């Protein structure tokens, strides 16, 4: 028997705010979080701006600070978002929770969590004569820099481990690294875990920061980032003819998923139901979307079939909408293929125009936006859309939020490597 799965809590740490209502208000107001990069000196980089989390200290959110000492930004954002989601679900006040049936599925970023310490340790250990890092010298330096030791030895699943320790979650524990689709995949797979009865509660979402020299350099070399340094606050321009790439953001989004029976038995406040999930691979190129949108079409179609709804039932699409030339036009083409004559009528928007691209955390944050759109019957805008691209001719809710009937939402996430994931949620 397939169980019904609901969302009972959510939390985020974003460039537009650290609590649900602040960030949501900023999104509806069309506020841009994009500023000159402050995490490191990016003044000589082709892209010197980003959407950063500001005035944040994860230690105010955790109950076991000694267990999380020295974590990097990636893990710190996850800890804050999960604390907020846990509290909003009411599970912090629920004494009867079986923690062996409490699981976590996290979409988390790759690589060293504290890149700056990693670079500093390598430079300090450099041997000019051998033109290489001297491992003995490096070890001595790292020993002196205990923070560097902790961070350099992190594995990509370390955020997951920290969340499990903080929540005392003894159930299924999974981590995926499917780039920009990771947190959407994590939520979809967590839904399947609950449906088949392997857990009662799943914490699902994502956390990521790539606002460090390696991350920015990599995306600049791929020509994926906007280089509009002279006009950075409007640099994120999804679906606009003048768009020239995405803007890096960072943060975390976490949701509490439960079986409907479990949520009702404890008297939880049910926010919405997850009704559909679809996943596919382009099998095309590592960094490019398949030109006809084949993978995106499959993911959306599978999600619709899983939900048992038709395109005409969808009231709002939260687009992947990165602001790159290829993504926006191909996503538009895919929506047209799936939605047919209804494509022109369904509103679509991209919050990446305001808070940048949170990479592995993007899908979870965007799904939270969908929950809020259903709650308030309001759609967030796509800002900076002043010169529409003829190839992007859908209703993108340009520049101003909109009152609307919103009962069913579809959220898209497409990742490097050709990963495509779509979720559908319904108001209850």
* Choice among 180, 370, 392, 409 that is catalytic: 180
Distance (Å, whole) CA 57 – CA 82 = 14
Report the sign of the C-alpha dihedral through residues 209, 212, 215, 221, in that order: positive
* Choice among 176, 320, 370, 392 that is catalytic: 320
* Continuous H helices in 222-307: 260-265, 294-307
180 catalytic, yes or no?
yes
Question: What distances in angstroms separate CA 307 from CA 2, 10, 273, 313, one per listed residue?
Answer: 12, 22, 10, 11
Tokens of 214: 């390696």
Strand spans (E) along 14-140: 34-36, 49-51, 102-108, 126-127, 132-133
User: Which residues make Cβ contacts (< 8 Å) with residue 175, sequence separation at least 6?
Assistant: 105, 106, 107, 108, 156, 157, 159, 160
* Choice among 68, 208, 262, 357 that is catalytic: 357
Distance (Å, whole) CA 179 – CA 198 = 26
Among residues 206, 303, 202, 185, the alpha carbon closest in space to that of 251 is found at 206
Count how many residues are written for the chain.
428
357 catalytic, yes or no?
yes
320 catalytic, yes or no?
yes
Residues identified as active-site: 180, 320, 357
């Amino acid at each position: 028997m397939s169980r019904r799965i609901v969302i009972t809590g959510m939390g985020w740490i974003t460039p537009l705010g650290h609590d649900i209502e602040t960030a949501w208000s900023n999104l509806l107001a069309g506020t841009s979080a994009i500023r000159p990069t402050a995490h490191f000196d990016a003044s000589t980089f082709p892209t010197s701006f980003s959407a950063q989390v500001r005035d944040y200290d994860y230690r105010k959110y955790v109950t076991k600070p000694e267990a999380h000492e020295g974590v990097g930004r990636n893990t710190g954002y996850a800890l804050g978002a999960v604390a907020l989601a846990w509290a909003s679900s009411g599970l912090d006040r629920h004494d009867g929770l079986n923690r062996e049936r409490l699981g976590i599925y996290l979409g988390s970023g790759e690589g060293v969590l504290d890149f700056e310490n990693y670079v500093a340790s390598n430079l300090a250990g450099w041997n000019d004569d051998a033109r290489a890092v001297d491992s003995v010298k490096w070890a001595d330096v790292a020993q002196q820099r205990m923070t560097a030791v902790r961070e350099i030895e992190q594995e990509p699943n370390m955020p997951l481990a920290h969340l499990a320790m903080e929540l005392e979650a003894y159930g299924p524990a999974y981590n995926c690294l499917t780039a920009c689709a990771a947190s959407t995949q994590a939520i979809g797979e967590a839904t399947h875990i609950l449906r088949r009865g392997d857990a009662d509660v799943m914490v699902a979402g994502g956390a990521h920061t790539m606002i460090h020299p390696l991350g920015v350099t990599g995306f600049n070399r791929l020509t994926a980032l906007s280089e509009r340094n002279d006009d950075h606050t409007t640099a994120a321009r999804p679906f606009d003819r003048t768009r020239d790439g995405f803007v890096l953001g960072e943060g975390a989004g976490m949701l509490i998923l439960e079986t409907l029976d479990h949520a009702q038995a404890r008297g939880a406040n049910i926010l919405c139901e997850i009704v559909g999930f679809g996943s596919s691979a382009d099998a095309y190129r590592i960094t490019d979307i398949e030109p006809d949108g084949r993978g995106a079409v499959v993911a959306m179609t599978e999600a619709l079939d899983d939900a048992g709804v038709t395109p005409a039932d969808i009231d709002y699409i939260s687009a992947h909408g990165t602001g790159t030339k290829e993504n926006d036009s191909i996503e538009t083409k895919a929506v047209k293929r799936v939605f047919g004559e209804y494509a022109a009528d369904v509103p679509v928007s991209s919050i990446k125009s305001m808070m940048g691209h949170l990479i592995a955390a993007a899908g979870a944050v965007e799904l939270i936006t969908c929950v809020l759109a259903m709650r308030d019957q309001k759609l967030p805008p796509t800002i900076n859309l002043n010169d529409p691209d003829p190839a992007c001719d859908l209703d993108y809710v340009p520049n101003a939020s909109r009152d609307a009937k919103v009962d069913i939402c579809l959220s898209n996430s497409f990742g490097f490597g050709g990963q495509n994931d779509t979720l559908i949620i319904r108001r209850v």
